Amino acid sequence: MLQIPASPDYELVRRTIEYLSGHWHDQPSLDEIAFNVGASADMVQRSFSRWAGITPKAFMQAITLDRARELLRDSATVLDASYEVGLSGPGRLHDLFVTHEGMPPGVYRQRGEGLRITWGLHPSPFGTAVVLITPHGLAGLAFADEGGELAAFEDMRRRWPNAEYVRDDAAVEQTARRIFDQDLWRPDQPLRITLIGTDFEVRTWETLLRIPMGRATTYSDVARHIGKPKAVRAVGTAVGCNPISFVVPCHRVLGKSGGLCGYHWGLTRKKAILGWEAGTVGTA
């Protein structure tokens, strides 16, 4: 079995993010952060900056609720503008340059029966990625901390229990690299993804694809854009069961007040992804 090497920075960064998430309001110094995560200040600064492209102080600012509310100020116009220009439009509205298709409804109703899914593990900036692909494209992406990889896979498998699953880490490597290597985010070679869900879920996920990197929107705004303004709770459920994390950016949907709300793969990881994106947009 192919062994996936752990990211040299992620565990330290994960501890740092957890500490900052609970103490951002105290605006701790770098020395205080380092003491509480069990590393030297220099190591925290170097590892975090290498991983996220921004300093711990800058990241701390990015994950505060003030930052969340700032992202939301223009939320109504974010989706409106995205609909006007379409996918892969100006301003990196669709940063991963994804092309997508929905599987026939029967595949979902039959819980994946007759569908062959190849899956594997791959290192990522946010822990080990569990990648699921079909002949039609990427169908699933989950994240796991060390030791939780199989549990994350089983969580994905329960979505389509009748499908045939084959593990092949090498087979998913190219897709995984396309996801996490920004040099491979090319509009002329879009990443193919496959959306497998109910019609309502697929419409919700398609709307998420229009939220640009470095921005956020609300559940109510998503509901409005799919023509179901009163279905905010149903939208929240659909967002929560999005099977293709990061690529279909459910992490960019916040509560009406700017709260970060929950995340299927952990609130700390949601904050990590938002912080990573803030650093990426800031240096683009």
Q: Does residue 243 carry a pLDDT above 90? A: yes
Q: What is the pLDDT of residue 281?
A: 67
Is 261 catalytic? The answer is no
The whole model's pTM is what? 0.72
Q: Can you give the pLDDT at residue 155?
A: 94
In tens, the pLDDT along 182-240 reads 888 877 778 889 888 888 998 999 899 888 887 888 899 899 988 999 999 999 999 99
pLDDT confidence of residue 91: 37
pLDDT tens sequence across 23-67? 766 668 889 999 999 999 999 999 888 887 778 877 776 665 555
Residue 106 confidence (pLDDT) above 80: no
pLDDT score of 77: 60
Residue 142, judged by CB atoms within 10 A of its CB (0-12, 13-18, 19+), counts as: buried
| Catalytic residue, candidates 44, 115, 138, 250 | 250
- Any alpha helices (H) in 218-266, and if so which ranges? 219-225, 232-240
For the stretch 150-165, pLDDT in tens is: 999 999 999 999 999 9
Q: What is the pLDDT of residue 93?
A: 35
Is residue 108 a contact partner of residue 124, using CB atoms and an 8 Å limit?
no
Q: Each residue of 112-141: pLDDT tens digit?
A: 888 899 999 999 988 899 999 998 899 999
**Could you tell me if 82 and 211 are in contact, meaning their C-beta atoms sit under 8 angstroms apart?**
yes
C-alpha pair distances (Å), 18 with each of 27, 52, 70, 92, 218: 14, 15, 22, 30, 24
Find how far residue 89's CA is from the centre of its chain: 20
| Pairwise pLDDT comparison (228 vs 68), residue with the higher score | 228
**The tokens 């990211």 sit on which residue?**
7
Predicted pLDDT at 75: 59
Report the alpha-carbon distance of residue 235 to residue 204 in Å, rounded: 7
Residues in the chain: 284
pLDDT of residue 94: 42
- Residue 79's pLDDT band, with cuts at 50, 70 and 90, is low
pLDDT classification of 87: cutoffs 50, 70, 90: very low
From the CB of residue 84, how many other CB atoms can be counted at a distance below 10 Å?
10
Name the β-bridge partners of 98. Answer: 191
